[in-house]
Structure 1
């Protein structure tokens, strides 16, 4: 199997907080793996770039690849790994040896330089990792489990405060009734949607104190959040653009059948890959990076607290994916009802899914 790996790394301060990003694609262009990796609190750009390469090669190995084409915007690493430039720095010598050992397990590995503009996904992932490093995360994959997950229990991570995210999907809108894609548009709740919000709010009151309420800026989420705030006695709802719904672009306001009829090829490509965006819209992979950044910042601001996040289907699936440490299949294989409740705890970077799509309050 042949794969393509795009990698990047960066340091804020050089040396400073550092992280790397790696993306693995199939020959057909399907995203097979995305890795955001915290390198450390005081590392250089070049060291971070090597870590991006290592994580990408490791992912390719774990996927069973036999041939790998690596693309990086680091001329230094590309030339050194190609054997055309010498490696003088001891840290990079060690990292290069590790990369060559990994590369030796493949039938072939090529290294190609690309401009930064063509390496945006890996760059975004490296920024996710640097955000996590700046928040104090230890070196490792963002959202990954500890080395011995079988021994995990909340008590064993007593040094990492539990931050609980209660994730509530908004109530019904007219778009929900019509079963059309509703992302960037801003419909209000229907009367049924307001009733769903009220029932969800009463159910949430039974879960215990909520320290803060954060909402997508879109009207349907804000209205639902305000109902919850009144019931829970929380004075303020904070808007957070990171939790807005995915932008469906040209598919906005259309049913699935209409999308197939009008945009057959583009729609098929979008359904087949989370890295493909609708015409004029946003890919699920891009949304996942956006929501990951928002979640990390929210967790830093409310460490050890309980936060109610009122949002939409795909941002909730993104948080579930972060907690589970799995790939993009979550977006295709998890169903979330209107006004459904999911609960996720984070202990540092370790996520625990407590419940998914609880709708008992609607029955």
Structure 2
């Protein structure tokens, strides 16, 4: 019979006088044939796979330095399949709890999108809100709850409150995240059984360093996302990324990070800031302004704020990378003085500039934490972030799911604008890159 492997047994039929099929004899159940279906493995059971997610979040100060931890367990065996933790920067305890829940659900979904999940947390607030018994009123938690509710279809996830002493695994991971203060953003540790179920792609992922793995996981999700969101997703958090205007170092193409002289805007830079302010006022969409703490960004932000009548908030997470001993030098001067360090820096995102500067991997961890915190704080709002070359490129890189080397393949002019939108389900859309049309006479 076409389509069956050699040796497969099947019922034969013969035709009656009018062409109707009839059985040659009484039906009987055939034993499994050893040669049939040679590519199929034995079926262990027909039930849906079940996971337990235990999650916890904490904030030392509320708001204060915060982090979450979560673990995915096999409900049948109790085996630990995935562990995840992440430092979040300064957020509230409840936001950290929700971030832990969201990370745990996404980790379970990565293992098996068709599974059923039972969530256990010691946060009464999160359990009651996600169970639908309490209303969600706080604007910081609404988008996180919405995103958590969309990971699995309705009815697939149940929630249970447990005492803190029964949530020690996730609590330990959350404390590790807070202790790290951003030096390690995420750890995922699938067991051998989980790797076998997840396939070769998940197995390869376990060899990636923690900070890089987290960036790659976020990137992969962004790549898989469409360029738009469903109508019921709600308005995204939209970040208008404005690079500061020129300083005396900009046209000379000198390294100018957070560890240098902190130059002010030049006359050209001030004019560029004014032109950017005029363009943004004409659009009329900016609702909040945040800036890096460095002088050149604060001056650029002030020019826009004066035109729009808005206040400026200083956000330390938007600061430029620290280029160590390379501050104030040109690329050629660095290559002449520190050739080995420069070669390593160009090829390895973990490499630091000479003298203990900030690596691109560390910058990515910092920007990812800043992004997540701001997306939660400004859900549905349009926010102007006045910052620098490396942070803007990193925002774009993570949104696109591009590798670290893509930082060297983007060009950002002084006072240029880029735009990234972030949706409640965690997806991102790059809408604009290096727009300088507002600078033309």
TM range (shorter): 0.5 to 0.7
Q: Distance in 2 between matches of 1:260 and 1:306?
A: 41
Give yes or no for contact 2:236–2:422 (8 Å, CA) kept in 1.
yes
Q: Distance in 2 between matches of 1:221 and 1:179?
A: 17
Give yes or no for contact 1:341–1:359 (8 Å, CA) kept in 2.
yes
Give yes or no for the alignment of 1:97 onto 2:193: yes
How far 1:277 sits from its partner (Å)? 0.9
How far 1:307 sits from its partner (Å)? 0.2
Give yes or no for the alignment of 1:20 onto 2:20: no
Give yes or no for contact 1:125–1:289 (8 Å, CA) kept in 2.
no
Give yes or no for contact 2:223–2:400 (8 Å, CA) kept in 1.
no
Equivalent residue number for residue 122 of structure 1: 210
Q: Distance in 2 between matches of 1:299 and 1:197?
A: 25
What's the CA shift string for 1:183-218, capped at 9, x where partnerless? 022100011110000001111122222111000000
- Which runs of structure 2 are paired with 1:172-183 in the superposition (5 Å)? 172-183=246-257
Gaps of 5+ in 2: 1-53, 59-67, 71-82, 87-99, 106-118, 122-166, 173-185
3-state SS of the aligned residue for 1:175? coil
Give yes or no for contact 1:210–1:308 (8 Å, CA) kept in 2.
yes
Equivalent residue number for residue 39 of structure 1: 104
Aligned residue pairs, count: 276
Give yes or no for contact 2:211–2:365 (8 Å, CA) kept in 1.
no
- Which runs of structure 2 are paired with 1:214-293 in the superposition (5 Å)? 214-234=290-310, 236-279=311-354, 280-293=356-369
What's the CA shift string for 1:18-69, capped at 9, x where partnerless? 26379xxxxxxxxxxxxx99224747786999xxxxxxxxxxxxxxxxxxxx
Equivalent residue number for residue 208 of structure 1: 284
Pick closer, same or farther for the CA change 1:197–1:48 going to 2, 3 Å.
same
3-state SS of the aligned residue for 2:430? strand
3-state SS of the aligned residue for 1:282? coil
Q: Distance in 2 between matches of 1:146 and 1:283?
A: 23
Q: Distance in 2 between matches of 1:102 and 1:294?
A: 30
What's the CA shift string for 1:259-290, capped at 9, x where partnerless? 01110111111112222111210111110110
Gaps of 5+ in 1: 1-9, 23-35, 50-71, 78-91, 113-118, 130-140
3-state SS of the aligned residue for 2:313? strand
Structure with more contact order per residue of length (Cα contacts < 8 Å, sep ≥ 6): 1
- Structure 1 or 2, whichever has the larger Rg, is 2
Give yes or no for contact 1:17–1:42 (8 Å, CA) kept in 2.
no
Q: Distance in 2 between matches of 1:73 and 1:309?
A: 29
How far 1:159 sits from its partner (Å)? 2.8
Question: Which is richer in helix?
Answer: 1
- Which runs of structure 2 are paired with 1:54-203 in the superposition (5 Å)? 96-101=192-197, 122=210, 141-142=217-218, 144-145=220-221, 149=225, 153-154=228-229, 156=230, 158-184=232-258, 185=260, 186-203=262-279
Give yes or no for contact 2:418–2:432 (8 Å, CA) kept in 1.
yes
3-state SS of the aligned residue for 1:317? helix
- Which runs of structure 2 are paired with 1:307-318 in the superposition (5 Å)? 307-318=383-394
Question: Which is richer in strand?
Answer: 1
Give yes or no for contact 1:213–1:307 (8 Å, CA) kept in 2.
yes
How far 1:362 sits from its partner (Å)? 1.4
Equivalent residue number for residue 358 of structure 1: 435
Give yes or no for contact 1:215–1:222 (8 Å, CA) kept in 2.
yes
Give yes or no for contact 2:222–2:428 (8 Å, CA) kept in 1.
no
What's the CA shift string for 1:46-95, capped at 9, x where partnerless? 6999xxxxxxxxxxxxxxxxxxxxxx999xx7xxxxxxxxxxxxxx9xx5
3-state SS of the aligned residue for 2:271? helix
Equivalent residue number for residue 336 of structure 1: 412
Structure 1 segments (4+ residues) deviating >6 Å: 43-49, 123-126
Alpha-carbon RMSD across the aligned residues, in angstroms, is 3.7
3-state SS of the aligned residue for 2:420? strand
Pick closer, same or farther for the CA change 1:274–1:45 going to 2, 3 Å.
farther
Equivalent residue number for residue 319 of structure 1: 395
